[in-house]
Chains A and B, each alone.
Chain A
Amino acid sequence: MTAAELGVPAPHKRRAWATAKSLAVELPWIWVFLAVVAMWAGIVAVSGRGLLGTMTAAIALAPFLVIVGIGQMFVITSGNGNIDLSVQYTMPLAGFVGISVMSGGSGRAALGALAAIGVGTAVAAANLFCILVLAIPPIVATLSVGLMAYSASSLQAQSFSALPDPGLHAFTVSSVGGVSWLAIACVGLALVAGGALHRMTYGRALQAVGQNRRAASLAGLPVTRVIIISYVVCGVLAAISGLLLATYVSPSVSIGQPYLLNSIAVVVLGGSLVSGGRSNVVGVWGGALFLLLLTTLLNVMNIAVATQDIVKGALIILVLALVGTDQGS
């Protein structure tokens, strides 16, 4: 019998397959970038828009999602069902508070940014109190805290007249060579986050906690502290993104709405494990570009927003179904 009859692939084929397989394991974000290229080509083919214009438009909007997505990734990486469903409500609250502090006078931009960060920290503290002290599962804890933050935003919105800080607004729309400054800053953020996750003790501890909390605790890692830091990072990044987005468009209670599903989607699409323990910063960028280009493609194909919801929901389930097996429930 030959190797082919036994169902064994020919040597060179097997090597190619093994290379592809190890590539997929080592670089799980490669698929999402292939999908980005496919979307990009699709948009250009359907609409006849320029290659560069399509991509720069997506890159200009990606930072808001990348910032929240990186925060969400920190929380999801800590494993054990940790997830932050309050980001969508932290964003508008931070936007309202930050902008109203900034409008108090000129030169108060830094103070406003600090206020927004304070909002993010406060939401994270409330989440952590519910999760660590009251032992409420993270899904329900963050959803409940999020609703309280939503009430706070609604109260702010009732008599809100402050205008975004002109200086900060100029920054959110400024660009160099077609690439927005915000996107460049966001690449920097991704590098810092990647360094923190893969090179620093904290990041290593976070991955260990996500892989096996009990083993990490027995090994002497400060499990509680690691979890606290991940929620605070997530809350603060959501707040910063909310402030920037509210300055970029205009403050409203619903600016965070798409970011609940999208922030989780970019983490999942980018090759991080939903069950925690493995994170991928590059993948978050890829996931964000993919989602934005997908929206653009659906828009140029004249597909209604309602149908876009169906497509996105189905897509996330499909991706999970394809990569699911090695993830715990």
Chain B
Amino acid sequence: MIVPAPRERLRHRRLHELDDWRQTTSDALPAFALVGMLVCTLVLVPGARSVSGLELLLSSAIPLVIASLSQMFVIVLGDIDLGTGYLVGLANVISARFLESSPEVAVGLLILVVLAYMAAGALIHLRKIPSIIVTLGASFIWLGWALVIFPIPGGDSPGWLSSLMSWEPSFVPAAVVFALVIAAVGYLITNRTAYGTVMRGAGSNRLAVTRYGWSMLRVRVVCYGLAAVFGIIAGLALTGITSSGDPNASANYTLLAIASVILGGGEFAGGRALPVGTVMGAFSISLVGQLLVFFNVSSAYQAGAQGMILVAVLAGRALLRIGVR
């Protein structure tokens, strides 16, 4: 056995400590960001300092939080879904149009959407085509389909869905309860099932996963299926909150969901699935948007602000990495 010289050993240990520090900082980043955003909001918005005030601020974030988990299941593979926003919009429109009047039609259509997503995943794998172009093309299918159902916003939310989304527990904002449930479900899938490990493995070392006998095709199909399921739940939540279906209401979720996943500690290269961080990331990003609205920032600036947030998050992560190296 080769024993490194004492000095070498010390250097090794320092490197490990440095690595640990980097990992801890990087893991804690979404929590810091969320606490920072919450403190900012509470200081700047006096009306938010009560359970109902906070509820009002946080509840509108729920659809984005769920949509971010949808994006997470694609990013974990090293892919990107450019259709998340219109997927949520399609689910929103289908549920607002059919869920009350003919639930079986709504369920049938939503299952069809999940199957279409799984087919897209299979296609990306089998034909080795870049995920962005397939999901970009697919996003036009979701948008077109939603516009066929509702050329202009309309429809209604079934009573049970509206009352679920307007539930007001007295002790804590309902949004916090929902977020905990969503994060827990995501965590159970990615970190407490054997297949969750395979998903993360598929993103970080494809060869190892295939060598162990797992089918990459199946992993992709499962991940895209999960992405569709979470996208649909996000659409249902949106229907419950807004009581209407609008094909374009969630168009900007695509970029915001990507930003949430990355702020939550995800990597574009794949291999990292952090549902708890992603949920916190989505809340932070949603709060930024709320603050812009609160301070009457012209709507013209909002798109640019979203782009700037994403660049800032990514630049911050890059700086953190360089500083440690």
Contact = CB atoms under 8 A, between A and B. Distances in A.
Interface of A: 81, 83, 130, 134-137, 139-141, 143-152, 154-155, 157-158, 260-261, 264, 268, 274-275, 304-314, 316-317, 320-321, 324-329
Contact of B318 (A134, A146, A151, A320): A134
Contact of B304 (A137, A150, A264): A150
Closest 4 CB pairs of A and B: A151-B304, A324-B127, A309-B144, A313-B140
A147 B137 contact: no
Interface string B121-151: 0011001111111101111110111011001
B285 to A, nearest CB: 13
A310 B140 contact: yes
Interface string B246-273: 0000000001001000100000100000
A313 B138 contact: yes
B307 A143 contact: yes
B132 A83 contact: yes
A136 B311 contact: yes
Contact of A141 (B82, B129, B311): B311
A146 B307 contact: yes
A136 B314 contact: yes
A252 B282 CA distance: 32
A140 B310 contact: yes
Contacts of A264: 133, 136
A261 B144 CA distance: 14
B133 A268 contact: yes
| Best-buried of A81, A152, A306 by chain B (most CB within 10 Å) | A306
A103 to B, nearest CB: 21
Interface stretch (B56-64, B165-173, B295-303): B295-303
A146 B311 CA distance: 12
B246 to A, nearest CB: 14
Interface in B19-59: none
B141 A313 contact: yes
9 contacts: A130-B314, A141-B311, A144-B307, A147-B255, A147-B304, A154-B299, A155-B298, A264-B136, A274-B129
B244 interface: no
A81 B311 CA distance: 18
Given A130-B311, A151-B301, 17 more contacts: A83-B132, A134-B314, A140-B255, A140-B310, A141-B311, A143-B255, A144-B310, A147-B306, A261-B136, A264-B136, A305-B147, A313-B144, A317-B120, A324-B129, A325-B128, A326-B128, A329-B129
A122 B311 CA distance: 16
Contacts of B306: 144, 147
Nearest to A144: B307
| Best-buried of B124, B127, B138, B302 by chain A (most CB within 10 Å) | B127
B133 A320 contact: yes
Nearest to A311: B144
A309 B303 contact: no
B300 A151 contact: yes
B15 interface: no
A140 B303 contact: no
Contacts of A305: 147
Interface string B142-182: 01110110010000000000000000000000000000000
A84 to B, nearest CB: 12
A119 B141 CA distance: 32
Interface in B274-305: 298-305
Nearest to A253: B300
Nearest to B120: A317
| Best-buried of B131, B138, B311 by chain A (most CB within 10 Å) | B311
Contacts of B255: 140, 143-144, 147
A155 B255 CA distance: 21
A157 B132 CA distance: 30
B315 interface: yes
B308 interface: yes
Contact of B123 (A148, A307, A321): A321
Contacts of A130: 311, 314
A274 B127 contact: no
B133 A329 contact: no
A261 B135 CA distance: 11
A152 B304 contact: yes
Nearest to B123: A321
B130 A310 contact: no
A309 B83 CA distance: 13
